[in-house]
Structure 1
Amino acid sequence: MTQDFAQQLLATLGPDLVALGADIPPRYHHDWAGLPPVTPLALVRPRRTEDVVALMRLCHAAGVPVVPQGGLSGISGAAHPRADAVALSLDRMNRIESVDPQAAQIVAEAGVVLEVAQMAARDQGMLLGIDIGARGSCQLGGVIATNAGGNTVIRYGMARDHVLGLEVVLADGTVISDMAGLIKNNAGMDLKQLFIGSEGLLGIVTRCILRLQPAPRAIETALCAVADTQGALALLAHLRGALGPQLSSFEVMWPSFYNVMAPGAGIALPLPPRGPHVLVEATGFSDTALREGIEEALGEALEQGIVSDAILAKSAQEGRGLWAVRESVSEYPVILGPLVPFDVSIPLKAMAETVALIEAGIAARWPGARALTYGHIGDNNLHLVVALPDPADHAAEKALKGFVYDAIRDAGGTVSAEHGIGAIKRDYLGHSRTAAEIALMRAIKATLDPKGILNPGKGFAA
């Protein structure tokens, strides 16, 4: 029956929008989660919202599942296809409709790549304050559907904080359009918030309006050495007090990460390998004032013993060099091979104890494993990647996940900071959400998607 539907889909929407079988390019068979590739029932690549509407009406009538796909850069498997489902890629809906510096807004289709949107804003003297490592491949629809975070959350917030308007296609083809772009609009419920971070379980984001910021004219980058995790937290508190909203990035690299990735990627260590290293970025609108402010803040941190050493970049090129170690994560496959990634959040008061417990526990229980820890802890986000001695040992992988997620639960944290639940973390959703919360999520889904065709088997879907 599904194969008959695939042929009906091809006949109705046409070969320009629909690909079947061997005509589906391999890149649509998987995302970055590392799950085994799957050839979907069909691949649909719409060019406009009306195409998405037509697809959803067909799938809703037939009860055929749909898996939305963006840039395929998520690590939780939310965009991983199914053999009995249509893969819906928004990559052709990639038009920037307008950039309005006066209203400080950008209007774009869901398939626009984040970096393209950033550049369009920059051309108008504005800044799109969302920035993640996959900026060159992730798409705005996916960024919104996962409520992505990234490097500048400490200043500008998560994706949710940037969304001023959404157009969404529901499971039955109904279009919900909140594209007025009003900052203040209390006429009933703010329905667009339902779809931000819902991982395509409630509707398909097709267009959006995102908030822009004035582009800072000054940027300063520094690398600081601290004694331990508590030292990193002390530096965070100090810089928040000294720089206020000018503090735009605060990236901590524990020795497990810094001492492995720098030499592994062929990067000369800017500071000797000791305790954790903190990459700090501040932005503002006066070169002189910002430079003087960060110099004074770092000088005070040195005098007070919060940091033991620091490098302040003398140029933009030096600044990019200081970022090189932190952004060396693209070299993971070469340096470490297959990995088990974790994207979690931990209360700051429990950060030091939890990081120490996890690193020590992994070393004790899985001898030979390589565990690297880093993250944007100013917004509670901790990243951990683990290379097990035997990547094919699925029992060890399952035990590792249980150990790490149990530790996060016990610390009062969450099993997902910025990459969603997807297919990978479904068994651990209860570590971070109560039974009542999960039941309410499922009740909302049942209302908006009564046949359960949107991204089944992912996130909170039953």
Structure 2
Amino acid sequence: MAPLATKADLLAELRGVLGPAGCLQGADMPARNRTDWSFLPPADPLAVLRPASTSEVVAILRHCHAQGIQVTPQGGMTGLCGGARPLDGGVALSLERMSGVEAIDPHGMTMTVLAGTPLETIQKAAAEQGLFFPLDLGARGSCTIGGNIATNAGGNRVIRYGMTRDLVLGLEVVLPDGTVLPMLNKMIKNNAGYDLKQLFIGAEGTLGVVTRAVLRLYPQPGCTSAALCVARDYDAVLAVLAAARQRLGPLLSAFEVMWSDYWLQATTRVPGVRAPVEIAGGSHAILIEMQGLDHVIDGARFESLLEDLMEKDLVQDGAVAQSLGDIGAFWATRDAAAEFAHPTVIGPHISFDVGLPVSQMDAFAARAKAALADQIGCQSVYYGHVGDGNLHVVAWRPGADPQPLPEASRIVYGIIGEMKGTVSAEHGIGTLKKPYLPLSRGPAEMDLMRHMKAALDPQDLMNPTKIFDGSP
């Protein structure tokens, strides 16, 4: 393709391919496409390109590859690390028009979807067929499966079903030069060479654009049981986790832990959230969820676990859900963090998503809480998916505007590096975590990632400046 005279010529040509609704410029560009939930300043891209088919994605990437235009793929824009924020002078490639469920195979237990399909749409489509897609997170109504794949999203049920990469059987991907990889595998067992789809899961759009996915489905749970328990210390939390794993096995679908400082914020300051149990005298609240097939058999198994925990004095107090409404109320305590930004709760704050070995999470929380308070005057609270080693931190300096993000990041990620954890458990790296990636990845690993990027995107046009900088 011969170089065009100006970027205006490129956009005019793409407008001819995509139509007026597919190429938005200037005042027509939606504000939501200029930045994500990282609260980074809005960018100023040349255009927001909105393809409606894989062939249109191919056309966009071929044109941009030939003209040296940087491309930032976008999903639901719910990321927290700046991964979907476009570059000034580049283009945003939004998959929002490529939405829909294309096929459900109830025998093979798969669903084929377009990348712009919202996660909640996928969950509902599976449920209508008596099936279940287990990936679940708070942004389910806004996030898209393409973004979930690009960040290898985790969410609430990783302890049972794994991360997004464990739920993807096949992908269709368009490479930076417009080459299509039609890897729409529908089989669980397929060892025919390299599993190339894994290159693109968690790559944050730096290696190509995911346009379709084949997802793995499960039977719809026949029953769900949940309990909120109070433990006196973290050793008791670990004992409860071990007992839940042993007694429930693969039925254990969630094991969420809220430190007492988080519990106080969630249940006393967030409107509409009540405390089903009293944590006074305890150190942690534990939300245990089980998804079974038969209420009589599996429900009895769950009740037996709780009785055993009480008899062994592993929990001090507890509440068992008697209805779906109770389950929702239990989860509301865990999901209350979404409301912390409200001025009447905490207001402006800094959020961290980190991972550690389960046995070290309480030690990390104690170290981080003390360091944040002593060094920069920040308060902090802790909660997370402890069953799979994922901890969330909310930190804030009362009355500060802006919040001390660089200072807090150095403290939190510095401790994570010392404890051999990961600076990102489920939200990706984007730009905000890029300076701290070497704390979790060694020089040889970083070098190999750069070689992979150079092999697939030698011009560094696909979501550049994200994850890491530089060439091998």
What's the TM-score bracket when you normalise by the shorter of the two chains?
over 0.9
Deviations 1:239-294 (CA, angstroms, capped at 9, x unpaired): 10111111100111111211012221132211113321011100111101122111
Would you say 1:457 and 2:451 are equivalent positions? no
Query: Which range is displaced more, 5-14 or 106-115?
Result: 5-14
2: CA distance, partners of 1:344 / 1:19? 37
Cα shift at 1:393: 4.5
Asked if 1 retains the 8 angstrom alpha-carbon contact of 2:261 and 2:381, the reply is: yes
Would you say 1:342 and 2:358 are equivalent positions? no
Asked if 2 retains the 8 angstrom alpha-carbon contact of 1:339 and 1:391, the reply is: no
Q: 1:158 aligns with which of 139, 146, 163?
A: 163
1: CA distance, partners of 2:7 / 2:439? 36
One-letter code aligned to 1:440:
L
Q: Normalising by structure 1, what TM-score?
A: 0.97
**Secondary structure of the residue that 1:354 maps to in structure 2?**
helix
Determine the structure 2 residue equivalent to 1:125: 130
Query: Which range is displaced more, 76-85 or 11-20?
Result: 11-20
2: CA distance, partners of 1:234 / 1:113? 38
2: CA distance, partners of 1:312 / 1:121? 28
Deviations 1:360-399 (CA, angstroms, capped at 9, x unpaired): 22222233x33121000111000111122354356x3211
Asked if 2 retains the 8 angstrom alpha-carbon contact of 1:105 and 1:212, the reply is: yes
Determine the structure 2 residue equivalent to 1:385: 394
Cα shift at 1:301: 0.9
Q: Normalising by structure 2, what TM-score?
A: 0.95
Q: 1:216 aligns with which of 211, 215, 221?
A: 221
One-letter code aligned to 2:313:
G
Determine the structure 2 residue equivalent to 1:429: 437
Asked if 2 retains the 8 angstrom alpha-carbon contact of 1:2 and 1:84, the reply is: no
One-letter code aligned to 1:377:
V
**Secondary structure of the residue that 1:458 maps to in structure 2?**
coil
Q: 1:76 aligns with which of 62, 77, 81?
A: 81
Unaligned 5+ segments in structure 1 are none
Cα shift at 1:66: 0.4
Identity of aligned residues (%): 45
**Secondary structure of the residue that 1:16 maps to in structure 2?**
helix
Q: 1:370 aligns with which of 379, 393, 401?
A: 379
Asked if 2 retains the 8 angstrom alpha-carbon contact of 1:24 and 1:39, the reply is: no
User: For 1:433-452, what aligned pairs fall within 5 Å after superposition?
Assistant: 433-452=441-460
Asked if 2 retains the 8 angstrom alpha-carbon contact of 1:72 and 1:138, the reply is: yes
Cα shift at 1:3: 4.7
Query: Which range is displaced more, 118-127 or 30-39?
Result: 30-39
2: CA distance, partners of 1:454 / 1:277? 43
Asked if 2 retains the 8 angstrom alpha-carbon contact of 1:6 and 1:20, the reply is: no
RMSD value, Cα: 1.3
Determine the structure 2 residue equivalent to 1:258: 263
Asked if 2 retains the 8 angstrom alpha-carbon contact of 1:217 and 1:285, the reply is: yes
Cα shift at 1:231: 1.9
2: CA distance, partners of 1:372 / 1:2? 48
2: CA distance, partners of 1:27 / 1:53? 24
1: CA distance, partners of 2:184 / 2:160? 25
Determine the structure 1 residue equivalent to 2:3: none
Would you say 1:175 and 2:180 are equivalent positions? yes
2: CA distance, partners of 1:229 / 1:23? 53
**Secondary structure of the residue that 1:87 maps to in structure 2?**
strand
1: CA distance, partners of 2:106 / 2:71? 37
Determine the structure 1 residue equivalent to 2:277: 271
2: CA distance, partners of 1:178 / 1:303? 52
Q: 2:19 aligns with which of 14, 18, 36?
A: 14
2: CA distance, partners of 1:448 / 1:88? 18
Asked if 1 retains the 8 angstrom alpha-carbon contact of 2:254 and 2:289, the reply is: yes
Would you say 1:59 and 2:70 are equivalent positions? no
2: CA distance, partners of 1:147 / 1:180? 18
User: For 1:33-48, what aligned pairs fall within 5 Å after superposition?
Assistant: 33-48=38-53
Q: 2:254 aligns with which of 246, 249, 256?
A: 249
One-letter code aligned to 1:290:
D
2: CA distance, partners of 1:168 / 1:452? 17
Asked if 1 retains the 8 angstrom alpha-carbon contact of 2:172 and 2:181, the reply is: yes
User: For 1:167-246, what aligned pairs fall within 5 Å after superposition?
Assistant: 167-246=172-251
Query: Which range is displaced more, 173-182 or 105-114?
Result: 173-182
Unaligned 5+ segments in structure 2 are 1-5
Q: 1:327 aligns with which of 309, 330, 335?
A: 335
Cα shift at 1:30: 1.1
Cα shift at 1:184: 1.4
2: CA distance, partners of 1:232 / 1:204? 41
